[in-house]
Amino acid sequence: MRTTVTADDTITSGLQDLYVRHAPAALRLAYFLSGDREEAQDLVQDAFVRVAGRFRYLRQPDEFDSYLRRTIVNLHTSKLRRLKVERSSLAREAALPREVATERGDGVRDEMWHAILGLPPRQRAAIVLRYYEDLSEQQAAEVLRCSVGALNQLVVRATASLRTRIGEEAR
């Protein structure tokens, strides 16, 4: 029996290769942003589907990892926005306090990690991209769609906030 390789097979093979190459780093980024393994897996899958579905239309296909990172950050930010709207709506309707307990998945107890999770989303993303993902200032700024100066301000504010929080917890 003769096996024929179609264009669809080639595309599928290429997408599988992209996923195998980029999924571990993408999962790590998503976990650092969300603090929850299941949410991170969902973010990576959603981001991969979005970017891979538009792969033919990417301006620079060689920059797939940049597109994937940017999509993960954008999806996470969108989710946080939706959650904020939902929470405020529930608070108004049920007159419940706005504070929501956060889930500490996988037994994470590290003081610094808890402080990072308490940062505002863009500051957390800036810290994660610069120090956990080890991206350059330019790369991190591109992912966050801001200038290098704005990225540096986010990092400075996040660092100051972390120093304050860690200092208060040490007392």
* pLDDT tens per residue, range 6-65: 444 444 566 788 888 889 999 999 999 999 999 999 999 999 988 877 766 666 667 778
Mean pLDDT of 120-139: 91
| Same structural domain, 126 and 77 | no
Q: Which residues of 139-154 are buried (b: 16+ CB within 10 A; e: fewer)?
A: bbbbbbebeeeebbeb
The residue among 71, 103, 135 that closes a domain is 103
| Same structural domain, 66 and 123 | no
Give the domain CATH number at 4: 1.10.1740
Boundaries of domain holding 155: 109-171
**pLDDT one-digit tens code per residue, 72-129:** 999 999 998 888 887 777 676 665 444 444 444 433 346 778 888 889 999 999 999 9
